[in-house]
Amino acid sequence: MGDKDLTGLTFLVTGSAGFIGFHVSQALLARGATVVGLDNYNDYYSPALKRDRDRELRRHPGFVSLELDLVDRGGLEALFREYRPRKICHLAAQAGVRYSLLNPFAYQEANLEGFLNLIELARRHEVERFVYASSSSVYGGLAELPFAESQRVDTPISLYAATKRANELMAHAYTHLYGLPTVGLRLFTVYGPWGRPDMAMWLFTAAMLAGQPIKVFNYGRMERDFTYIEDAVAGIVAALLTEGLAPYEIFNLGNHRAEPLTKVIRLLEEHLGVTARQELLPLQPGDVPATFADISLAQSKLGFYPRTPIEEGIPRFIAWYRRYHGLEG
């Protein structure tokens, strides 16, 4: 794909103050695009972190920052009329498996109603491509690893997963009915600088530095396909730009390595210089013991070749974490 110049092209990135949206916006801006970034700065995790990301993006003259909720249909319509985005990267959502057990309606609003509001505007304004975040969680507890896009995914085991699968089905209907080109991306545990405070990598780091115990679910018998943020962004940008895709696409974006959680803890210990105190707990409802992505489809169609193993990604995350919190290295 190379580093195509995107000057003169306007992208809408939803969830631009979120972890992945921030990095995708940066990547598009770096290539000269205009990025309209939308976020509602909700308090699912630190709004201050979201404001800090947004402040970084605002430094770029091609960035337009809008504070808007996906359920605000009038606000979204005004946005489309004013900025006329040609491509959409829809990343705003209520994320998290465990939180969906406690706050189901947050998922209904952001992931179902919000998704519908946006895809409906996308087709009315005839956008060139609608790329949206799905999740590895749609594979639920399937036993057959690695997970491939050809597998049947009609047995979600959390409401979060059900809403992400619903997004894929809604996109299918819109592609079929209106010819709207859509690309769904099943992301696998993304981590790295400017990451998410509700995810294991950050939670473990924070607890270990504070001398507190870390919660290790399924008694440590967990495997995750950890995707470094730069690799995920390369896949997302390729999904936005690659020519010749089919009208309806779904891709896994993972690292194609199932890493034991115990190895992640060992690497954190090594790079933080702290021994973790582990509180061993059962598997949480809605959680799966293992994820592992077959990425051959994204390789062949998007040229997606992730190249960051956790041995490299974890120290980079820790270096950023220390800098961001003003801790000595």
Ligand X SMILES: NC(=O)c1ccc[n+]([C@@H]2O[C@H](COP(=O)([O-])OP(=O)(O)OC[C@H]3O[C@@H](n4cnc5c(N)ncnc54)[C@H](O)[C@@H]3O)[C@@H](O)[C@H]2O)c1
What CA–CA distance (Å, rounded) separates 321 from 206? Answer: 9
Out of 89, 187, 237, 250, the only residue in the binding site for ligand X (CB under 6 A) is: 187
For residue 130 the two structure tokens come to: 């609608």
The reply to whether 225 sits near ligand X by the rule CB under 6 A is no
CB nearer to ligand X: give 94 or 175. 94
Burial zone of 315 (CB within 10 Å; 0-12 exposed, 13-18 middle, 19+ buried): middle
The DSSP letter of residue 7 is T
- Alpha carbon separation from 264 to 127, 285, 301 (Å, rounded): 41, 22, 30
The least distance separating ligand X from the CB of residue 211, rounded to whole angstroms, comes to: 27
Ramachandran region of residue 10, left (φ > 0), alpha (ψ -120 to 50) or beta?
A: beta
**Residues identified as active-site:** 160
Q: With respect to ligand X, which residue has the nearer C-beta, 107 or 248? A: 107
CA distance 258 to 224: 5
Q: Which is nearer to ligand X, 32 or 198 (CB)?
A: 198
When asked if residue 162 is in the footprint of ligand X (CB under 6 A), the reply is no
Letter string b/e over residues 227-240, b meaning 16 or more CB atoms within 10 A of that residue's CB: bbbbbbbbbbbbbb
Residue 201 contacts residue 149 (beta carbons within 8 Å): no
Q: How many residues bind ligand X (CB under 6 A)?
A: 28
Helix count and strand count (H, E) for the chain: 12, 13
For residue 177, the one-letter residue type is L
For ligand X, the closer CB: 6 or 53: 53
CB of 196 to ligand X, least distance (A): 5
> What's the min distance (Å) between Cβ of 197 and ligand X?
9
Q: Smallest distance, Å, CB 185 to ligand X?
A: 8
Nearer to ligand X, 79 or 245 (CB): 79
State yes or no: residue 223 binds ligand X (CB under 6 A).
Answer: no
Task: Return the closest-CA partner of residue 151 out of 294, 299, 300, 247.
Answer: 294
Q: Does 320 bind ligand X (CB under 6 A)?
A: no
DSSP state of 13: E
Site for ligand X in 34-73 (CB under 6 A): 38-42, 50, 69-71
Please choose, from the candidates 197, 164, 42, 152, the residue with its C-alpha nearest in 3D space to the C-alpha of residue 97: 164
Q: Which residue in 19, 99, 228, 251 binds ligand X (CB under 6 A)?
A: 19
Q: Does 165 bind ligand X (CB under 6 A)?
A: no
Strand partners, 65: 37
Q: 86-115: which residues touch ligand X (CB under 6 A)?
A: 91-95, 110, 114
Residues 134-153 that bind ligand X (CB under 6 A): 135
Judged by CB under 6 A, the chain residues 245 through 264 that form the site for ligand X are none
CA distance 171 to 189: 23
Q: Which residue, 34 or 136, is less far from ligand X as judged by CB?
A: 136
CB of 63 to ligand X, least distance (A): 15
Provide the binding-site residues for ligand X, judged by CB under 6 A: 15, 17-21, 38-42, 50, 69-71, 91-95, 110, 114, 133, 135, 187, 189-190, 196
